[in-house]
A and B are shown apart, each in its own frame.
Chain A
Amino acid sequence: GAGVSQSPSNKVTEKGKDVELRCDPISGHTALYWYRQSLGQGLEFLIYFQGNSAPDKSGLPSDRFSAERTGGSVSTLTIQRTQQEDSAVYLCASSLMTGRPYGYTFGSGTRLTVV
């Protein structure tokens, strides 16, 4: 597609439930990134994919968080047993890895509210 697409745009879930967030990157972009923005905070790095592999998972806050990417394209971020502190906007970005200068193209995000 023309841009990075994320779904759902909004998600309200009960504490303790699992949620899946989806990211569809720009076609041909080999790198995919997940960030989150909690209320009043900056962008916090979660995980990065190069192709289907995730060389850096250092930002995942706990083992309740996992992510996968299939076919070098769509990625899903799964949060198990959601907690209220998981409430945030989850942003996905993709980029080409063909030298500088380059930057990310972000999706519009998924606003997750855990009640």
Chain B
Amino acid sequence: DQQVKQNSPSLSVQEGRISILNCDYTNSMFDYFLWYKKYPAEGPTFLISISSIKDKNEDGRFTVFLNKSAKHLSLHIVPSQPGDSAVYFCAASGGNAGNMLTFGGGTRLMVKP
């Protein structure tokens, strides 16, 4: 039973346009959400996070939106750049003492020049 789902395995976007990556979750105990970016042969790196008390968090070109009623979050990248091409993982935590993160399956973003 996947508690965090990224239903789009891949996304292709033109350079300069907006990239929107989506994530859905089922566990209502989750109260903190993160996005990680992963390049080939490297470990995932933290990108941006959002607490459940907020509905939006912005950091430069990256914005994460949280819709708690829909149990849905999204990552917006604008403008998209070729260097943003990577696999993006959505992750959630909450309801456990160990800060364990539950990850989605990832979305491969390709930004075309």
Residues of chain A having any CB pair with chain B under 8 Å = 4, 31, 33, 35, 41-43, 45, 48, 50, 55-56, 91, 93, 95, 97, 100-109
Within 8 A of A (CB), among B41-56: 41-46, 49, 51
Q: Is the pair B32, A100 in contact by a Cβ cutoff of 8 Å?
A: yes
Residues in A neighbouring B6, C-beta threshold 8 A = 42
Q: Tell me what chain B mostly uses at the interface: helix, strand, loop, or mixed.
A: loop
Q: Which residues of A contact B81 (CB under 8 A)?
A: none
Docked complex Cα distance between A78 and B31 (Å): 33
Q: Which positions in B face A, CB cutoff 8 Å?
A: 6, 32, 34, 36, 41-46, 49, 51, 89, 91, 96-106
Selected from A45, A48, A95, A106, the residue in CB contact (under 8 A) with B43 is: A106
Instruction: Give the chain A neighbours of B34 by CB distance below 8 A.
Output: 103
Q: Which of B43, B89, B91 contacts A109 (CB 8 A)?
A: B43
Most buried by B among A33, A50, A91, A104: A104
The smallest beta-carbon distance between A40 and chain B, in angstroms, is 8
Query: B32, B102, B104, B105: which contacts A45 (Cβ < 8 A)?
Result: B102
A105 CA to B45 CA, complexed, in Å: 7
State whether B98 touches A106 (Cβ < 8 A). no
B32: chain A residues within 8 A (beta carbon): 100-101
| Chain B positions within 8 Å of A105 at CB level | 46
A105 to B, closest residue via Cβ: B46
CB–CB B98/A31 < 8 A = yes
Give every chain B residue within 8 A of A50 (Cβ-Cβ).
98
